[in-house]
């Protein structure tokens, strides 16, 4: 579904990503783990072409989309839930969701997407006419996910969706992601908290200093009694060239 080969890129004159390669299979749920500053959000930006890639190849469903702009990637089925939500606070919940569906054609398609998102997150239906900025942080995160789903993606990238949320809201969002997985949506989840990431995905990459340093199945990682020691010992090591 998604293949990134030796992706490099960064800001200004320096690279943050150093030849990063990952793959996410059709219907798979994969975690991207790592501490702050590892380059996880930069990789998300590179995958969605909001940050220019200096080198590397990106494929979606077997097609080379390395030169595609962001809007073309969305039209191809790739959607990002950005870190920090980035909702339009003065707009209503309904209008925020409508912005996510700009690539869809036809009123029937739009109505179906609203119905789908409202079924997944009933709170959004209850607050459809409310100003988005007046909602709680957890509700705003649901809105950010719902907005991404309005484009009818085949692969959803989520960048730190549980940051700062209460346990009850985390459970609600995890339930929604499980339903999306059941329906065949492909997921790439950026997360720092190991228990959440390992419960929501089937395979994981660990990223440090702009490089992938470990790939493993989540069940195998979860069974390791030394998983936290492993994670933090990796974080303490210099990245290998």
Whether residue 232 sits in one domain with residue 181? yes
Range of the domain at 40: 1-77+154-241
CATH of the domain at 193: 3.40.50.300
Which of 111, 128, 152 delimits the end of a domain?
152
Contacts of 61 (CB under 8 A, 6+ apart): 1, 26, 76, 77, 154
Determine the pLDDT at residue 229.
Answer: 65
Whether residue 158 sits in one domain with residue 145? no
Whether residue 165 sits in one domain with residue 143? no
Residue 74, number of CB atoms within 10 A of its CB? 21
How many domains are contained in the chain? 2
Whether residue 182 sits in one domain with residue 227? yes
CA distances from 235 to 13, 15, 192, 228, 231 (A): 25, 19, 12, 11, 6
Whether residue 162 sits in one domain with residue 234? yes
Which of 152, 169, 204 delimits the end of a domain?
152
Order across the sheet with 55-60: list the strands. Answer: 14-24, 2-11, 55-60, 63-64
Residue 173, number of CB atoms within 10 A of its CB? 21
pTM: 0.89
Determine the 3-state secondary structure of 72 from DSSP: helix
pLDDT in tens, the chain (241 residues): 899 999 998 887 788 999 999 999 999 999 999 888 889 999 999 999 998 888 999 999 999 999 999 999 998 999 999 998 899 999 999 999 999 988 665 555 888 999 999 999 999 999 999 999 999 999 999 999 999 999 999 999 999 999 989 999 999 999 999 999 999 999 999 988 888 998 899 999 988 889 998 898 988 877 776 666 665 665 555 544 3
Determine the pLDDT at residue 217.
Answer: 92
Whether residue 71 sits in one domain with residue 97? no
Which of 102, 121, 152 delimits the end of a domain?
152
Whether residue 128 sits in one domain with residue 93? yes
Whether residue 66 sits in one domain with residue 46? yes
CA distance 6 to 23: 11
Whether residue 120 sits in one domain with residue 164? no
Whether residue 227 sits in one domain with residue 166? yes
Whether residue 66 sits in one domain with residue 162? yes
Whether residue 229 sits in one domain with residue 146? no
């Amino acid at each position: 579904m998604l293949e990134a080969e030796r992706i490099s890129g960064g800001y200004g004159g320096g690279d943050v990503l150093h030849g990063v390669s990952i793959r996410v299979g059709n219907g798979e749920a994969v975690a991207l783990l790592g501490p702050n500053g590892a380059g996880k959000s930069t990789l998300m930006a590179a995958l969605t072409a909001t940050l220019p890639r200096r080198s590397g190849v990106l494929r979606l469903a077997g097609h080379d989309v390395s030169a595609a702009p962001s809007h073309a990637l969305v039209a191809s089925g790739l959607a990002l839930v950005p870190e920090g939500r980035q909702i339009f606070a003065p707009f209503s919940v309904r209008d925020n969701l409508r912005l996510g569906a700009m690539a869809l054609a036809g009123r029937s398609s739009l109505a179906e997407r609203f119905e789908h998102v409202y079924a997944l997150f009933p709170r959004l239906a209850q607050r459809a006419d409310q100003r988005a900025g007046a909602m709680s942080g957890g509700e705003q995160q649901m809105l950010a996910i719902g907005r991404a789903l309005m484009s009818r993606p085949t692969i959803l990238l989520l960048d730190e969706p549980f940051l700062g949320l209460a346990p009850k809201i985390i459970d609600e969002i995890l339930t929604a992601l499980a339903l999306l997985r059941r329906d065949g949506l492909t997921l790439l989840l950026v997360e720092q908290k190991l228990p959440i990431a390992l419960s929501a995905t089937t395979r994981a990459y660990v990223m440090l200093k702009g490089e992938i340093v470990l790939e493993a199945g989540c069940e195998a990682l979860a069974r390791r009694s030394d998983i936290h020691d492993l994670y933090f010992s990796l974080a303490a090591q210099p990245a290998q060239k």
